[in-house]
Amino acid sequence: MSEDYRKMWEGLGLDLAAHDALLSVLGQGYQQLFLSQKNRPAGMGYFDFVMSEVHGLRVKELLDAKAAGRKVIGAFCLFVPEEIVLAADGVMVGLCTGADFATEKAEELLPRNTCALIKSMFGFKLGRVCPYMESCDMIVGENTCDGKKKAYESFGALVDNLYVMDMPQMKSPQGRDLLKSEYYRFLKAVEELTGVTIDAARLKKGIAVVNNKRKAVQRLAKLRAADPAPISGLDALLVNQIFFYDDPVRFTASVNALCDELEQRITKNEGVFAAGTPRILMAGCPMAVPNWKVPAIVEGSGAVIVGEESCIGERGTRTLVKDSAPDLYGLMDAITDRYFTIDCAIFTPNPSRTEHIHEMKSACKADGVIHYGLPFCQPYQMEAIPIEKKLTANGIPVMRLETDYSSEDAGQLKTRVEAFVELLK
C-alpha cells in the first residue's frame, strides 16, 4: 500500500501497527484461499483488485465523497435500507465484522459468551483497525437479536454517531407498522444528516441502483445451478461480501461482466470443479469479510458450494423493491414490504426461512445443506434444530456446524465435513 494510504489511515486515527498486522493476515489468507484456486473466471480479477485495495482505494473514495459534501453511513445489518441513503446522495458501507480482533478489550465490555460477530464489532472499534468505521458520519445499529440490541447500548459510548433503529420481532400487521415508522424516522435522520430533502424522484433513483445491484447477484446465483459449477463458492461468497461496500454501480457492472463470462463457460461445459462434484447449500449466520473458514474447508473437502442462504447471500438479495408507486409514501410502503420479507431468525415464528432453504436447495440443485451457526447465536442455533428436522424428514441431508472465527477447530471441522461430503457421493 502506498505512503498516501498510511497518511490517510493516520488521519482516521487508526493504530497503524495493529492495522499492518491485520492487513498482513488478510493478505496471506486471501493469497492462500482465493488466488490459489484453479481455473478461476477472469472476471474475478476485479474482485481481487477490490480486495487488494480494501483499506486503500475504496476508503480514499469515501473520504473524497465526504470532501465533496456527501455523508457516509455504516450499517451492520440487512435491515438498513440503502435506497434511503442513496436517495440523499449518501454512501452506505457494510461494517464487516468477520474476524477476531482486540477480543480481550471487547470482553471488558461484553460477556465472553457473546457471538463472534458482535465481539468483532467492538474489537474493530477498540483496536482502531477499521477505516470504514472511522469514516462514518453515522453508524446505524438495529434492535434485532438481544445480543445486538444490548450491545449497542455500550457501543454507543464508543462512537459519537450511533443511530439505533427499532425492529419488529413478529411478521404481523403491527410488526410491519413498526418497521414502516422506523423507516420514516430513519429517512428523517438521513435528511437531517445530509441536508437533502428526499422526494419520490430521488427515492426512485436509489431504488433503481439497489435493485440493479440485487438483480446482478440474482443472475450470478442462478448461474451457479449449472453442473459443472462455473464458479467456486468461495469466489461467489466474495462477490456477495463485496456487495456491501463497493460503489454500487461499478459493482453491478462488474458482476454482470462476470456473469457474461460464466454464461460462456456454461455453454462450453467448463467449470471450476468436475461435473458431478457433491453440491452444498450453506445456510445460517452471516459470513462477513474475512470469515472464509468454513467455505474453504467445504471446498477443500471435495464439494462445491452452490448457494448461500445467508445475509451475505440470498437472504439479502432475492427480493427487489417495487418502484411503481408515484409518490414518496407509496415508495416507502414498497421499501417496507420488501424488507419485511427478510427471514432473519430474529422473527418468530419464521416459517418462510425453512421454505426458502427448500426452494434454494432445488433451485441450485444442491445435494445437501450445511447449517452454519456462530456459538452463542441463539436465534440461528435454535432455529437450526427444527430446520434440520424438517429437511431431514424430506430426505435432504443436513449437517449442523457451530464454529467461530478462530482456526483452532479447523482440523475437527474438516473431518466432519469430509464425512458429510462422502455421504453425498
Contact positions toward ligand SF4, by CB under 6 A? Answer: 77-79, 115, 117-118, 144-145, 147-148, 285-286, 311, 342, 344, 346, 374, 377, 379-380
User: Are the beta carbons of 53 and 2 closer than 8 angstroms?
Assistant: no
Least distance in Å: CB of 411 to ligand SF4? 24
As beta bridge partners, residue 72 has: 91
Q: Least separation, in Å, of the C-beta of 144 and ligand SF4? A: 4
Compute the least distance from the CB of residue 242 to ligand SF4, in Å: 16
Q: 30 or 101, CB closer to ligand SF4?
A: 101
Q: Cβ of residue 342: shortest distance to ligand SF4, in angstroms? A: 6
What's the one-letter identity of residue 402? E
As measured in angstroms, the least distance from the Cβ of 288 to ligand SF4 is 9
The answer to whether 375 touches 116, Cβ cutoff 8 Å, is yes
| Nearest distance in Å: CB 416, ligand SF4 | 21
- Nearer Cβ to ligand SF4, position 206 or 379? 379
The minimum distance between CB 194 and ligand SF4, in angstroms, equals: 24
Q: What is the nearest approach in angstroms of ligand SF4 to the Cβ of residue 353?
A: 10
227 vs 343 by CB, closer to ligand SF4: 343
Q: Which residues pair with 370 in a beta bridge?
A: 282, 399
Q: Which is nearer to ligand SF4, 55 or 315 (CB)?
A: 315
Instruction: Identify the residue whose cell numbers are 418502484.
Output: 323
The residue behind cell 442462478 is 222
Instruction: Please identify, using beta-carbon distances, which residue of 102 and 140 lies nearer to ligand SF4.
Output: 140
Closest to ligand SF4 by CB, 46 vs 339, is 339
Q: Looking at beta carbons only, is 127 or 286 nearer to ligand SF4?
A: 286
Indicate the residue among 43 and 313 with the shorter CB distance to ligand SF4. Answer: 313
Angle, vertex CA 38, rays to CA 32 and CA 44, nearest 5: 80
Least separation in angstroms between CB 81 and ligand SF4 = 12
> Do the strands 162-165 and 279-284 form a parallel or antiparallel pair, or are they unpaired?
unpaired
Closer by beta carbon to ligand SF4, 145 or else 216: 145
